[in-house]
Structure 1
């Protein structure tokens, strides 16, 4: 009870400056002390205005060269290879790619509309010319699968509630189907309806990790590395940083 705000500040500052603990560890210690003083001792302390907080380390993202990307893609195949090529060719995040719907791929304008990206914002990114025939061929197979599902009494894709109510038949229309549907039907916990969701992120993550190992590249590359590499190669090719920022959907140019 004899220790108050000053002592708590000194202890937490010592954790950061001398102990070198991370941000989360210091926060846990702070939360524990706040609970102790507020709930147990009934002796709340002040604002800790002079507390020196732990700093989150600034790490440079891993970036691969074009040659390294080519080696990874060369040992991939099928839909996983197409997904990985899209991540590298568009700068999309993993879930942004998996949540693409047929209507979002604009072959005429050579662009992809990314819906509900980070921060809930839509944006437009490029559709590489080299991928257009591959995506078109892939969509033919997906459409055949969708038609097969419809004949079996399924084929209704998930839509957000507002759209589901406004356009009750849209969930069966081809334009609203996933570009990368799951291999099998599953029960939708929101509606209890059996339907085909989009592919699961773990599937592509594992495929990329396996490809990195097979390619002999000894770097901890992941799906997100393809996105960082896309941005870096654009900058090296002469694109201005503002354009790259917009393609990536970053609110802050420094990120």
Structure 2
């Protein structure tokens, strides 16, 4: 990408600095172990910021340009508060971590206030109808999301070693905030999950025979344990349908199941089940927590299963206690 200098001329960023700016952003993000999705989002916002300001280099810009960019997102782009905050976070990372510029105006940037909204929750009957309209691996993944309360990527990134059938537990590794936790393994899914693991075992044997079979390991484990990447215990429970080139190191390997396939399957199932509520994979996590509280489980237990840092985050699901026979009776119903 070429940048305009302070005099209005055009300079080649490749000649001005080594490595190029966006490449350095990626390098710093990977050095700090940010996820690939965060990397893609941050790079995208930084590119948009530069293009929005006529390709001027970020070193030549400051508070005025950042505030104008964020305001344009809100006014013209009509983006949500969370999206605007993500754009701000990416620019803060650019200036602090990449350009090493810690300016006073950065501390004064006000983040957009996110509105407090109740989560979209399915009733137990709606969950039954949704799952009945699904089959195959999407059905199993959706069932695990509802049965365990895991986040979507926590479920898709499950490794074989993280399933404990003897104790009916699942170990969720590197969840939000980099924390590990344990959640239950629904007994009703034991047989289906064991069949899925055997399917993965057969696929892994074929991959090894074809000269592949090495999975991506978290952190620096690949250097510490060079042979671990080919061990079955480290393989994904839900491997992808086909191999792909890893964008982080260029190696050809089989990643985990594509979340886009699950999204399409859930959308189709929602239509067949005649469910009119907004629905995503995260809706099943909301439904898990809500139904546990409806069943009388302690909120601290639900907090631990969800992996929430603060119980106040979990308390949003107590809205069910103020509804129907569990809460206040409308005065109209007394008439």
Q: TM-score if structure 1 supplies the norm length? A: 0.79
* 1:218 to 2:276 alignment: yes
* Aligned-partner Cα distance in 2 for 1:64–1:188: 36
Q: Which residue of 1 aligns with 2:42?
A: none
Q: Which residue of 1 aligns with 2:205?
A: 147
Residues 1:246 and 1:161: Cα distance change in structure 2 (over 3 Å): closer
Return the offset for 1:189: 2.5
Counterpart mapping for 1:25-104 below 5 A: 55-104=113-162
* Aligned-partner Cα distance in 1 for 2:296–2:281: 24
* Aligned-partner Cα distance in 2 for 1:157–1:192: 13
SS in 2 for 1:198: coil
| Conserved? CA contact 1:22–1:55, under 8 Å | no
Identify the range of structure 1 (205-214 vs 137-146) with the bigger mean alpha-carbon deviation.
205-214
Q: Which residue of 2 aligns with 1:243?
A: 301
After superposition, give the CA deviation of every residue in 1:60-90 in whole Å (9 maximum; x if it has no partner).
0011111100100011010000000000000
SS in 2 for 1:254: helix
* 1:116 to 2:174 alignment: yes
SS in 2 for 1:250: coil
* Aligned-partner Cα distance in 2 for 1:141–1:54: 46
Residues 1:236 and 1:197: Cα distance change in structure 2 (over 3 Å): same
SS in 2 for 1:216: coil
Q: Which residue of 1 aligns with 2:228?
A: 170
Return the offset for 1:191: 2.6
Q: TM-score if structure 2 supplies the norm length? A: 0.61
* 1:206 to 2:242 alignment: no
* Aligned-partner Cα distance in 2 for 1:135–1:56: 38
Counterpart mapping for 1:129-148 below 5 A: 129-148=187-206
CA RMSD of aligned residues (A): 2.6
Aligned match of 1:128 in 156, 162, 186? 186
* Aligned-partner Cα distance in 2 for 1:120–1:150: 31
Per chain length, whose mean CA-contact separation is higher, i.e. which structure has more relative contact order (CA < 8 Å, sep 6+)?
Answer: 1
* Aligned-partner Cα distance in 1 for 2:280–2:247: 29
Aligned residues: 218
Return the offset for 1:237: 1.3
Return the offset for 1:106: 0.5
User: After TM superposition, what 4+ stretches of structure 1 lie above 2 angstroms from structure 2?
Assistant: 21-25, 53-56, 189-192
Return 5+ residue gaps in structure 2 as ranges.
1-78, 92-103, 314-335
| Conserved? CA contact 1:87–1:227, under 8 Å | yes
After superposition, give the CA deviation of every residue in 1:95-139 in whole Å (9 maximum; x if it has no partner).
000000000011011100001100111100100110111100111
* Aligned-partner Cα distance in 1 for 2:114–2:280: 22
